[in-house]
Structure 1
Amino acid sequence: MEKWARVLVLVICLSPAMVECMVRQYKFNIVMKNTTRLCATKPIVTVNGKFPGPTLVAREGDTVLVKVANHVKYNVSIHWHGIRQLRTGWADGPAYITQCPIKPGQNFIYNFTITGQRGTLWWHAHILWLRATVHGAIVILPKRGEWWKSDVEAVVNEALKSGFVPNVSDTHTINGHPGPLSTCSSKSSSKDGFTLKVKRGKTYMLRIINAALNEELFFKIAKHRLTVVEVDATYVKPFKTNTMVIAPGQTTNVLLTADRSTGNYLVSVSPFMDSPIEVDNVTATATVQYSGTLASSPTTLINPPPQNATPVATNFTDSLRSLNSKLYPTNVPLTADHSLLFTISLGINPCPTCPSGNRAVAGINNVSFIMPTTSLLQAHFFNLSGVFTDDFPGNPPVAFNYTGGTPPLNNLHTMIGTRLYRLAYNSTVQVVLQGTGLLAPENHPIHLHGFNFFVVGRGLGNFDPKKDPKKFNFIDPVERNTIGVPSGGWSAIRFRADNPGVWFLHCHLEVHTMWGLKMAFVVDNGKGPDESLLPPPSDLPTC
């Protein structure tokens, strides 16, 4: 059996217990930090002065306490992406969904227990676009025995005034370094960016996180094959690949065996976008360096996949299967109490104050979600009226050819509202996420808070409710918390609503979330205290 020589956390981002339960305590100080690494002309918001932020390491079954102290001028909240907050929705983190944000000068302690999860997840700010620099990794060990050179808020505010797309970033980074292909050099380290030093014959586990704001990414290492073993903190049937694709919000663990001759090998991170949308097309690079390599040794280069390499991305996605073993069974719901069709769309609404008279919008089932001024979870727990309604449509208001032809003109406009969809405790849910081509077909990584779900099917074109379910995979569908809805296609997911509270569902492309591509489920309490939401912590921020 091969031994893992080390564990490496790779955070890819845009720059502009059978054992006793342990309590892990961390302190996050949200501060402004000057940096030259990204050619910064202004300070960036960081955690404990680090970019990326500190890595949290815990073990399955541990209770984690994180004290967040806000020392910057912005409101802040932190989301523990992929952590199943079982009855502890107060610690989930999305601003105005489960909590009021932490105001400047205030503190809040996030308190949650890691249950039934192991692998790699991540944490990030969950208010406006602060996650551009406020993010980091979460490493969950199994039980024993098993940046941006401008102020991102200014970028967002300018886009909101214009009504259209914010400026794209200038580069990508790997562990905070863009590499030599970028015009923005890594002045705080070598000119070649991040370097992973390896020993021939050893096997390394890479924990890969896509923290990019708006782009799916390809990941390759020259002359090496990667063995995929886990996604979103759930094990998968291992398989080998030359190229992996990872959407914003997703995490993937791969094994890298150092089986090549001594030398330097390029690592590349490049965008995947199979529709005519403007993206940052600069490839970030790093280096895998074998021990004993001379300083004068050349680097073996690599050709990243074309930006529109859909077959490469599809082949990777179709290879993902749950482990489905005795120890880690795949408990996919075989029936659905709720069968929902959610159309994921972009559109245009009138805007008298915008220069063009229009504003870009996004929505689910023609609803652009409006963020409340009171936390939805507080409104639900205390039964506050007037904060939200529970009439979110389970199907699109107008059926049409979602991925082709000329759409009805009125479908380019969306209605606005803070509308939730109510679920009974322990009910089973199927959601078909249908991509559309109202403006242009585009990939959408959709993240569900509070639950893992099973991806039982996906395809191109319009979902056919009679034919497509016959091809669903109920044996070993991959289990995730973030799924990419293919450009001009659909993805079908299933989950059991066994976690009471209010749970956000949104596109993890920040530009689309900003435009309203989001909604929330409200899950009622079940029978008795073990099936009920816990009361809020005493230091929960107020709005």
Structure 2
Amino acid sequence: MDARIRILVIVACFFPVLVESAVRHYKFDVVLKNTARLCSSKPIVTVNGKFPGPTLYAREDDTVIVKVTNHVKYNVSIHWHGVRQLRTGWSDGPAYITQCPIPTGKSYVYNFTVTGQRGTLLWHAHILWLRSTVHGAIVILPKRGVPYPFPKPQKEVVVVLAEWWKSDTEAVINEALKSGLAPNVSDAHTINGHPGPVSSCPSQGGFKLPVDTGKTYLLRLINAALNEELFFKIAGHTLTVVEVDATYVKPFKTDTILIAPGQTTNVLVSADKTAGKYMVAASPFMDAPIAVDNLTATATLHYSGTLDNSPTTLTPTPPKNATSVANSFINSLRALNSKQFPALVPQTIDHNLYFTVGLGINSCPSCKAGNGSPVVASINNVTFVMPTTALLQAHYFNISGVFTTDFPSKPPHVFNYSGTPPKNLQTMSGTKVFKLAYNSTVQLVLQDTGIISPENHPIHLHGFNFYAVGRGIGNYNPKTDPQNFNLVDPVERNTIGVPSGGWVAIRFRADNPGVWFLHCHLEVHTTWGLKMAFLVENGKGPNQSILPPPSDLPKC
């Protein structure tokens, strides 16, 4: 059986259009891989020995079966980021939320159907900081015979943006937790696993994207970084945005893409030059006074017939605090909203929620970290405590004492969220969820608090897509701001950036029963507790209910 699966993996990875089966099998072996980047060598945790990991290919409505075997010392779980997992929460992947992690030497089979989705998503480890190296692309092709709603490209290329640490990332975050302070930033950014030339390692090359004059290429961009939003540019070339987070958008042209951790963006690039090498750049965006890795990852767009030693046309990258560039990109995003791909924005709302997201400081006289005042993060002043039994398991089997359903629908303390912080920065701790009836509609306003410092927060919701209907700077005004909401063609996403010192409003329909994680995709904030979960109850009958757990579900 394993040999047959391995053959299918090879076929699917390199010749996806030849695979006719509606069931795609993959085998993921989580292993240590010795690798060298930035003139340093260390073993890293990888899938099938690759960094980035293998690309999964499927078509809309295919069933995907992935057997994951853990060969490393860490417990492991894999999240299929953006896959809706309709009624199959057991395959969603966040450790201690929908499953217990896979122990060393054990395996678990993820089994899910990609229903009504097409485009680019990603998979990554969802435990500890392992997703720094355990990540890869998911490419969902349209149903056979269904064209793209944009000109067909001659070639498609997956481009994974990420961060690189010379140190073990588990050591980085453990040291930060001991100190109570922010962790060290990464040592470089990468494009498909390569940083490009850097001062500390002049011999390092970079990723090379060969192109032919006159052809059009679809770049499937993925931000797999742990803690940084990134700008993406190609010198001398215009990018046409056609999709974000596996949902089609009204095409628009730009020279700079903004992409947050967990987000994906598909762009068309026309090779309209006759020859030459052109710099491809990924650089950080952070408009708050927060330390970031300032190194720009570079690659080259290389026209056929151009000599390798030809000079590279460079491109200036935006300054890291280029808020206007970021806003220009975000404000250009609109759902395609065609007859075939309508924007089904909820027009009436059952749950009107207001969540503050940000940092705090908890007094802990007995703690060494932070001299007794470690930094924490919270949603509505609740710092989430990870359970030792998976929440979905506790919900399905009615195991008491694992969580409570009293997560607050609004901030317990009212203050000027984007202004002067309150004197009391203490948060409460708990494992709390918010309960939603099946098929109820939700409007959720996410407000940055600016405590300690205003900061961007890319928030990811598992199990659902949502519509970003509004956005602003300062404190959200429930009386006046909804008058400007876009309820016609707002962009549809699974990960949204809460602007520094501002707010964003999203809407979704709770039509997927289970327990679904909501958290900041800056891994440091998730570690500090900026996370919660929605519990969506079963509807009527088996087709609106959670499927039973698989027999090989890992045990805690």
TM-score, with length taken from structure 1: 0.94
Deviation at 1:268, TM superposition (A): 0.6
Matched, 1:180 2:209: no
CA contact (8 A) 1:21 1:63 kept: no
Deviation at 1:303, TM superposition (A): 0.6
Matches within 5 A, 1:256-295: 256-295=269-308
CA contact (8 A) 1:178 1:184 kept: no
Matched, 1:394 2:447: no
Name the counterpart of 1:5.
Answer: none
Name the counterpart of 1:15.
Answer: none
Deviations 1:321-365 (A, max 9, x none): 000000001101001100000001111112322252211100000
Matched, 1:441 2:454: yes
- Of the three residues 460, 465, 477, the one matched with 2:473 is 460
Name the counterpart of 1:150.
Answer: 167
Name the counterpart of 1:510.
Answer: 523
Distance 2:421 2:290 in 1: 19
State the aligned residue count: 521
What is the CA RMSD across the aligned residues, in angstroms?
A: 1.4
Identify unmatched segments of 5+ residues in structure 1.
1-7, 10-18
Matches within 5 A, 1:52-67: 52-67=52-67
Deviations 1:162-194 (A, max 9, x none): 111111111100000000135246x7xxx4310
Name the counterpart of 2:368.
Answer: 354
Moved more, 451-460 or 37-46: 37-46
CA contact (8 A) 2:70 2:103 kept: yes
Name the counterpart of 2:510.
Answer: 497
- Deviation >2 Å, runs of 4+: 37-42, 181-185
Matched, 1:171 2:188: yes
| Identical-pair percentage | 74
Name the counterpart of 1:16.
Answer: none
Distance 2:372 2:353 in 1: 34
Which amino acid counterpart does residue 106 of structure 1 have in structure 2? Answer: K
- Of the three residues 186, 196, 208, the one matched with 1:195 is 208
Which amino acid counterpart does residue 442 of structure 1 have in structure 2? Answer: E
CA contact (8 A) 2:38 2:198 kept: no
Deviation at 1:21, TM superposition (A): 6.4
Counterpart secondary structure, 2:328: helix
Deviations 1:345-398 (A, max 9, x none): 111112322252211100000000000000000000001100000000000001
Deviation at 1:409, TM superposition (A): 1.4
CA contact (8 A) 2:38 2:200 kept: no
Identify unmatched segments of 5+ residues in structure 2.
1-12, 147-163
Distance 2:95 2:405 in 1: 19
Deviation at 1:149, TM superposition (A): 2.3
Distance 1:119 1:45 in 2: 27
CA contact (8 A) 2:176 2:182 kept: yes
Moved more, 467-476 or 291-300: 291-300
Name the counterpart of 2:348.
Answer: 335
Distance 2:441 2:214 in 1: 47
TM-score, with length taken from structure 2: 0.92
Matched, 1:479 2:496: no
Name the counterpart of 2:444.
Answer: 431
Counterpart secondary structure, 1:409: coil
Matches within 5 A, 1:21-170: 22-146=22-146, 147-170=164-187
Distance 2:397 2:224 in 1: 34
Counterpart secondary structure, 1:158: helix
Deviation at 1:260, TM superposition (A): 1.5
Deviations 1:206-258 (A, max 9, x none): 00000010000000000100000000000000000000100000000000100
Name the counterpart of 1:385.
Answer: 400
Q: 1:86 to 1:67 in 2, by over 3 A?
A: same
CA contact (8 A) 1:38 1:148 kept: no
Deviation at 1:294, TM superposition (A): 1.8
Deviation at 1:144, TM superposition (A): 1.3
Deviation at 1:20, TM superposition (A): 8.2
CA contact (8 A) 1:454 1:480 kept: yes
Query: Whose relative contact order is higher, 1 or 2, with alpha carbons under 8 Å and at least 6 apart?
Result: 1
Distance 1:182 1:257 in 2: 31
Name the counterpart of 1:14.
Answer: none
Distance 2:105 2:165 in 1: 24
Counterpart secondary structure, 1:249: coil
Deviation at 1:38, TM superposition (A): 4.3
Distance 2:121 2:199 in 1: 28
Q: 1:362 to 1:260 in 2, by over 3 A?
A: same
Moved more, 151-160 or 482-491: 151-160
Which amino acid counterpart does residue 423 of structure 2 have in structure 1? Answer: L
- Of the three residues 259, 273, 280, the one matched with 1:246 is 259
Distance 1:513 1:193 in 2: 31
